[in-house]
Structures are given as structure tokens and as C-alpha cells.
Structure 1
Amino acid sequence: MAAATSQKQGDDTKAIMDSTVGLPALEISAAFPQATPAKIFPAMVSDYYQFDDLLNFEERSLQKKVREVMEKEVAPIMAGYWEKAEFPFHVIPKLAALGVTGGTIKGYGCPGLSITASALAIAEIARVDASCSIFILAHSSLAMLTIGLCGSEAQRQKYLASLAQLNTIACWALTEPDHGSDASSLSATAVKVNGGWVLDGQKRWIGNSTVADVFIIFAWNTSTKQINGFIVKKGSPGLSATKIENKIGLRIFQNGDILLKKVFVPDEDMLPGVNSFQDISKVLSVSRIMVAWQPIGISMGVFDMCHRYLKERKQFGFPLAAFQINQEKLVRMLGNIQAMLLVGWRLCKLYESGKMTPGHASLGKAWTSNKARETVSLGRELLGGNGILADFLVAKVGLLAY
């Protein structure tokens, strides 16, 4: 009897499997209804206090443009690329067409945006995909900004236009295997030689490094005992970059290890405006505004996803949104986002008025990141088992929250 029952169960299982083989994915998913996945991105409902009333026409127009492109072109493919830990390079022309790369830099083919518009663009990109926002942030708000603020006129003319169009990709290499938060104590060295410099050392966790055409490298000047900056071109003898594998967070974004073995850099590619860590800090202060807006965008996307999910998913005969415990979590998430938006907006206004200090930028970045961790953690709770599926967005950024 047991054997017959087991055989029947096996036949039933095989029949079910046979009936699904070859069916379109949409038909199979329809047989197991849960809720609308993030590839059809949810409507924006997280701006509860109507923050966009504070924006001017140009800022609102850019916000709308970036949101539409990210939702239409990027959202449908992100889960698949997250699973493969690969970057969708075919979307780079679409990102370039947004006109946000280069941010606040004026001239040289750059958009010359207000700091508020640039921050909004980062938030809108992060709302759909955190990895894409870091790709732009590392390229634009670190590498390009360093050339814009610390480069010579000839360097700005030579490099910025191509970088602004994303025809070439840049990375920004400060962090080393033994020097993370202690970034001013670099081990990489720069030795002066006839006609240029020779760089030796290692860099780690450098975003975009495996695909970069232009490397911004910081090294310890053995003569002056200060940090200098250099523009190093892809293919330079002695320069290599390898992808860091098995990364479980920000999987689409490519981080790498850079090895410098007697890399020669001509004098014209030394950045004249980088002569100490204080010069690097000028770049970091501006980029921290962008970094502060990234968790704002991430949190907005998670809230929008959870809001829609709780209305669609039913348990005990009611939408999950009908239960007060879920409403309380949603309200906490929404409250965090409203406060984060206003802190981010105030940072931009302080910068535009010339009043922002490095302390303002650092506190804003730290605080919005902290609130984003809380917000995403609540989102993970609200989605239950589906919270670990990249299809519902939260899993893709949830690893940043723990």
C-alpha cells in the first residue's frame, strides 16, 4: 500500500511538472499569485509632505525625467542582473541621456546642475536601483568632480566631456587593503622620476575599476610626504584591476582590487590641486551630499513597494494593509522618509549658500544612512517570505540595512 501511494504521489508530481514545462513564465507566475513585482515599479507615494513643492521648475522636470527612465528602462531588468552579479552595460546610453553625469560641474560638456537637482537625480536612480546610483555617484561625484575641482584646465578639457557622455568610465581609488576609514594613511607611493611619476601599491573596493577607462589614483609622495592625485589611463603598463567576487550586497555594482606595479604617469596627468588629504576632503564634502541622498532614494523605493504590496496581498480575507500592526510600520517608514528628505534638502541649501561645513555633510550622510537601515528593515518585515526575493526590491537593498 505504501509503495502504491508513493508511486501515485510520484506520478502526480511528474504530471504537474510536465504540465508546466514550456509554459511562459507569466502563466506560471499567474498560477502562484503574490503581488506585482518591482519590474513594474510602484507609483511614488512616499513624498507625503509634498516635498516637490520646494523645488523649482527645472528640478521638478529633471526629477520626472529620471524617474520615468529608471522605471521604464531599468526596473524591468534589475532583478536578473542582480542574480547574475553583472552590470547591464547596455543601459549606459540611457543613463547618459539623462544629462546628470558631471552634476554641478559647469562647462566641458557637463550639465552644470544645481546641487539640489544633482541630489534629486541620485535619489531617483537609487529609488529603483541602488547599484546604478553608486555607478553614477562613483563616476560623477567622485572621479569627475576631482578632475573638475582639482584638475588643470588642460585636464578638464581633455577628460570631462567624454566622461559626461559616459563614452568613457572613471573610477576613484583612495581605499586600500589596510586603509579604509583611515584613508589619510596611504601605503601606495608616488616616486618622482624624469618626466613623470612611478606609482606602486594596491587599492581595494574600488567601484567601476574593472571597467574604467580613467583611474583617479591617490598615492603618498615619497619626497614631500603628502598625498597627491594622478590620472591613470586604462592599459598603462603595470596597472591591473580584478573584480571582487562573491559579494552579496550591491551585486550589480562592480567593485575591484587595483594593483599598481611601477606604473608610469606623465607629469601632465598629475592633479595639481591635490597636495594633501585636505584637498581630497573638499571633494568628499560635496560627494557626501550625494551619498546622503542615496539612502533617501532607496528608502522611498522600499516604501512605495511595501505600500503597493500590502494593498495587494491578502491574508485572513483582508489586504495586509488593513492590519494595524502593518499600518504602524508603514507610518514609521513614511515618517523617516519625510525627515530624511528635509535633512537632505537643507544640506543642499547650506551648500548653495556657502554655509555648509564638512560636519554638516558628514552628519547628514550618517543620519540618513541610519534611518534608511531602519526603514528597509521594516520593509523586510512587512513583505514576509517575499522579502527575500529580489523580485520585490527589498532583498536587493536589505543587505545594506543589516
Structure 2
Amino acid sequence: MTLTTSQTNALPTTDLDSAAPAELLDVDFYSFQNLLTPEEQASVSRVRAFLEERVRPNADELWDKAQSPRHLIPEFAALGLFGAGWPETRQFENSAVYRAWIALEISRVDPSTATFVGVHSGLAMNAVGVGGSEEQRAEWMGPMGRGELVGAFGLTEPEHGSDTARGLQTTATRDGDQWTLNGAKRWIGNATFADMVVIWARDTADDQVKGFIVRQPAEGFTATKIERKQSLRGVENADIVLENVIVPESDRLQNIDSFRDVAIVLRMTRAEVAWQAIGVMVGAYEAALAYAKQRVQFGKPIASFQLVQQKLANALSNITASIALCVRVSEMQDEGIQKDHHSAMAKAFATARMRETVALCREIMGGNGIQLDHGVARYFADAEAVFTFEGTFDMNSLIVGRAITGIAAFH
């Protein structure tokens, strides 16, 4: 497949020279952020300040109400959070480590916001960037980068998640210059309000998976918000039903010929989700540390107790080890040598450490750890979704196992 690099609809370059480099987070124990260029660090500083001012104050309330921060989309775009890796939409030359660090920063404040950005920019925009023709990229990348259009990514189905590569049931049937899509999708973020949804369907003629841009609204396309979630409540996931949805050939992603092409997009986003897991750990750790310093029991702050310090040390070790692993995976992306098993190992390792870390942080807070007001409960709950999406721990482990042995343990 051929990747194009159209400059059409490029975003204006943002002058970051006057911005001060970001101070290192205390949790960045080995100073990994120093790997970023001065321009990248200045952007991190700008994003971090925005998140503290505009996202953190309302994060608990929006999570409690199960609402997405849609009102901030223009500001997200102005910060360059959408399509930062593509020539049409990047505000300055940057590395995969920088883009991943931004995912950490967003998730550190609000994992739901990080997931919204990841779906729109990491999945939908990357699908167009990887699979779209020159004309498709020219039409969609600029407006999506500016936040004028919002995207969603429809791959998972009600009966097919881990086995989607072989089990995908949504069909696409060609008749002349148009396709008819039929099927169902589940857990599709942003789908209730997206302007376009990338739908992955199996071609009834050659049995290969292909990608389609479904413009909204579309006749026969229904997206229903999934209610009663207890994780990532600020993400509006949907069930999608497609009943004879007509898509012109011009809206089929022209450079997608099989699921192997889809996997290129997933490889990129899976590594970013590993960084999102680090952000969840960092947010929980920072809240637990602040609490431990001010919470007094037996006449002294609980931060002075040996077992509390051990929990904090274990949490910080998990964060540091995960950053080290994920930095290298992101560097490999820039070097063009990142493979599926590299992303899979990073996602499996980081999310497993995340689950352990948020539990340690909740333990430090005792009963207060289950209440939103004390800062850890939201991360504790959100960790469960991050642990699962972009490939379960088991599936990612088996992808690594296949690389080790040359034998696939899933069929």
C-alpha cells in the first residue's frame, strides 16, 4: 500500500518559542521527558497548563453525569491535539515519543478525555491517514485536525472483539459505484455525535476486510448510546446498527485491501493506549501521594508509615518501568521497525501495571478511595476499560507469544 503526504488544508504553525519548557513531573523519576526537543517540551507545557485549567475542574462532574467534554473540541484542536503526526495537520515537526507523552498528560488528568482524543485522532484520523487516497486525505484530514468534523471508528462487533480479524460479520456488497453495508458494531466511541464513522466490513466478493467512510447522518445507520457504564463514563460509546447503508465507492478507503492494513492503524494506537495507561497510573499516584501527606492517623501523616511508603514506591516503580518500555516502542515507530508484538507487549505490560498501581493508590486512601472527591476512584474505575480495549491482556500476551515461538495459540 502507498502512503501519501498531501499538504492540503495544513494547519497554521503555532509559535512555541516563547513558551517555557515543561517542568518535569515529580513522577518522571528518571527524567524521560528530557528526551523531547525544546519545542516538544514547550508544547507539553502548554497542554499541561490547559488541562489543569480547563479539563481537571470539571472532570469528576462530567464523569458522574456520563458526559463527554464536547464543548472543548475547538480548544483541543487549537492545541494541536488532533492529527499531530500527519503533515496535513501537525503544527510542528514532532516525534512519536512526544505524541505519546501528550497522551500520558491528557490521561493523567482525565482518561475519558484521552479516550475521546484517541478515538478521533488516533483511530479515525489515522484510518484516513493510513488508508485514504490523496483526495480523501485532502477532504477529511484538515477539517478533522481543526475540530470542525469529529470521527469515530467502527470495528468491534457485539459478538466479535478479540477475533475480529477472522470473525468480522458486518458485510459490504458492491453494486457498480456504490456499496451496501449491513451489520452491527458495539462499544464505538464518539459514534452518537460523530460527523463521520469509519466502518470496517467484509467484502462479500473476496472475503477481505475493507474500510468505509460513513458520513452522518446516513439512512439506515443508527447509533444508540450505551448506558450504565461504570468505567470511562465521560466517553459516549454506542451500539451501531447498519441496515442497507449506501456508501459510494469514493468513500471506500482506497488503500485498505485487507485486515493487515487495518492492523497498521491498530499497531499505532495500541502503543498510544499503553501510554494512556501510564497516565492513569500517574493521576492515581499523584492523588494518593497528596492524600497521604495530609491525612493524619495516630497523630502523624500516613505518608510517614512504612507500608504506605512501600505502596508509593511500588506504584512509582510500575510507572517508571512502563515509561521506559513505552519510550522505546515509540522510538521504534519513528524508526519504522515497530511490529505488532512490540505494541502488544507494551500495552499488556503497562495495563497490568496500571491495574496493580490504581489498586495500591486506592488502598492508601482507605474508605475515602471509593469517593470521587478524593481523586483516585475515577482512575480506579477507568483503569478497567483501558485494561480491556485495544486488545485484552490475554490477546496481547498471545501476540507476543506467537512472536516468541512462531506458533499462534489463537485460531
Deviation at 1:193, TM superposition (A): 1.3
Query: Following the alignment from structure 2 to structure 1, what is the Cα–Cα distance between the partners of residues 156 and 195?
Result: 19
Q: Does 1:276 align with 2:236?
A: no
Give the one of 336, 339, 363 matched to 1:381.
363
Letter in 2 for 1:244: I
Find the counterpart in structure 2 of residue 13 from structure 1.
Answer: none
> Aligned AA for 1:273?
N
Q: Hey, what does 1:194 align to over in structure 2?
A: 176
1:108 Cα offset (Å): 5.0
Tell me which residue corresponds to 1:38: none
Deviates more, 1:283-292 or 1:51-60: 51-60
Shift of the alpha carbon at 1:401?
A: 4.3
Indicate conservation of the 8 Å contact 1:62/1:117, yes or no: no
Q: Deviations over 1:365-384 (max 9, x none)?
A: 11001101111110010111
Q: What is residue 274 of structure 2 aligned with on the other side?
A: 292
Residue of 337, 348, 353 corresponding to 1:371: 353
> Could you tell me which residue of structure 1 aligns to residue 189 of structure 2?
207
Q: Deviations over 1:228-278 (max 9, x none)?
A: 100000111111101000001000111001110100001100011111110
- Pair 1:267–1:273, CA change in 2 (3 A): same
Q: Distance in 1 between matches of 2:39 and 2:208?
A: 42
Q: 1:85 aligns with which of 66, 75, 85?
A: 66
Which residues in structure 2 correspond to 1:15-54 (within 5 Å)?
44-54=25-35
- Alignment CA distance shift 1:108-1:398 (3 Å): closer
Identical positions, percent: 40
Number of equivalent positions: 360
Which secondary structure state, in structure 2, belongs to the residue aligned with residue 271 of structure 1?
coil
Deviation at 1:282?
Answer: 0.8
RMSD: 1.4
Matched, 1:128 2:116: no
**TM-score, structure 2 normalization:** 0.85
Equivalent of residue 39 in structure 2, options 41, 58, 64: 58
SS, match of residue 355 in structure 1: coil
| Uncovered stretches (5+) of structure 2, i.e. residues with no partner | 1-23, 385-411
- Cα displacement string for residues 142-195 of structure 1 (whole angstroms, at most 9, x for unaligned residues): 110010011011100101111111111100000000101111121111011132
Deviations 1:67-110 (A, max 9, x none): 11111111000111111111122222222221121121112567
Distance in 1 between residues matched to 2:91 and 2:186, nearest whole Å? 29
TM-score using structure 1 length? 0.87
Partner of 1:40: none
Which amino acid in structure 2 is aligned with residue 329 of structure 1? K
Contact 2:280/2:383 (8 A) holds in 1? no
Q: CA separation of 1:257/1:286 partners in 2, compared to 1, >3 Å: closer, same or farther?
A: same
Amino acid at match of 1:135: F
* CA-CA distance at 1:320 after TM superposition: 1.1
Give the whole-Å Cα distance in 1 for the aligned partners of 2:154 and 2:70. 21
Residue 340 (structure 2) pairs with residue 358 (structure 1) = yes
What does residue 309 of structure 1 align with? Answer: 291
